[in-house]
Amino acid sequence: MSDELPDRDADKALAGEYALGLLPADEAAAFESRLVNEPELRAFYAEWCEDLAGLTDRIEPVAPPPWLHARIESELFGSTGHKTSFMRWVAGFLGGLAAAALALGLIFGADLVPSGPQAPTDPVYVAEVSAEDGSLVVAASYDADAGELFVDRREGDAREGRALELWLIAGENAPVSLGVLPGEAQAALAVPEGLRPQLDGGVLAISDEPPGGSPTGAPTGDVLAVGEITNT
């Protein structure tokens, strides 16, 4: 590149081009080998990184989905003998719930309405999916014959202009959507055949999502409520 700049200026510009990733591969490699021995060049490069990073100041932070942390740690640290932070988080969350509330009798009382979807009389699995502060409580029970999960929203609702989406988390797998909870408090959600075996020992979670549910297939909003699936 010949553009008649004094050497020092040429190096400053070069360091900027390198920081922006604009240099052709051969020039980038040559720049890197010079970096090793030239402190001034390193200083130019570091200054550019600082200055250019300022371009991200106005980018709003966005919380990544909660399962991503667990996935990263399981890659870095392996899953054996180490509870990932997501599972620790779930465990802590569940620990906060009174054990009695998980008792079957309490979850499925006798207050079922006669119309609309009915709770299965002999569910294989049940769960109470609740927020830590009790602001959202959804009881779920699974009818193995119908392959349907009956949900009963007892407390709370989606925020204005938002939806509640129900997720199944099996082991350390990424959450899989079981669908958006309808406006009605009670509903039956069909569970795809491939997912049914994963209910055993899994966890249900509810996240805050745009209308119609997460556009990405993974939870995008806050996780509002969690509940362990228990075998009856």
Partner 1 sequence: MATRDEIEAWLAACSTGDRRAFGALYSATSAKLFGICLRVLDNRSEAEEVLHDVYVKIWHNAGKYRVNGLSPMTWLITVARNTAVDRLRKRRSTTASMDQAEERPDPAPGPEAQAIAASEADRLNACFDELDEGHAQAVRGAYLDGETYADLAARFEVPLNTMRTWLRRSLLKLKECLSR
Q: How far is the CB of 40 from partner 1 (least distance, A)?
A: 12
Q: How far is the CB of 170 from partner 1 (least distance, A)?
A: 19
- Which one, 65 or 213, has the nearer CB to partner 1? 65
- Which one, 186 or 214, has the nearer CB to partner 1? 214
- Which one, 35 or 124, has the nearer CB to partner 1? 35
Report H helices in 21-141: 25-37, 39-53, 66-77, 85-95, 104-107
- Which one, 3 or 145, has the nearer CB to partner 1? 3
Q: How far is the CB of 219 from partner 1 (least distance, A)?
A: 11
Q: How far is the CB of 107 from partner 1 (least distance, A)?
A: 33
Q: How far is the CB of 141 from partner 1 (least distance, A)?
A: 32
Among 83, 176, 97, 189, smallest CA distance to 140 is for: 189
Q: How far is the CB of 12 from partner 1 (least distance, A)?
A: 6
Instruction: Please tell me whether residue 109 adopts helix, strand or coil conformation.
Output: coil
Query: Which residues touch 30 (CB under 8 Å, ≥6 apart)?
Result: none
- Which one, 84 or 186, has the nearer CB to partner 1? 84
Query: Which residues touch 1 (CB under 8 Å, ≥6 apart)?
Result: 27
Q: How far is the CB of 41 from partner 1 (least distance, A)?
A: 11
Binding site for partner 1 (CB under 8 A): 1, 3, 5, 9, 12-13, 16-17, 19-22, 42-43, 46-47, 49-65, 68-69, 71-73, 75-77, 82, 85, 215-218, 220
- Which one, 4 or 160, has the nearer CB to partner 1? 4
d(Cα 229, Cα 120) in Å, to the nearest integer?
Answer: 15
- Which one, 53 or 101, has the nearer CB to partner 1? 53
Long-range contacts, 115-123 (Cβ 8 Å, 24+): 116/184, 116/186, 116/187, 117/150, 117/186, 117/187, 117/188, 118/150, 119/150, 119/152, 119/186, 120/145, 120/146, 120/148, 120/150, 122/232, 123/150, 123/232
C-alpha to C-alpha distances, 31 to 15, 16, 23, nearest whole angstrom: 8, 11, 9
Q: Which residue has the tokens 């870095």?
A: 76
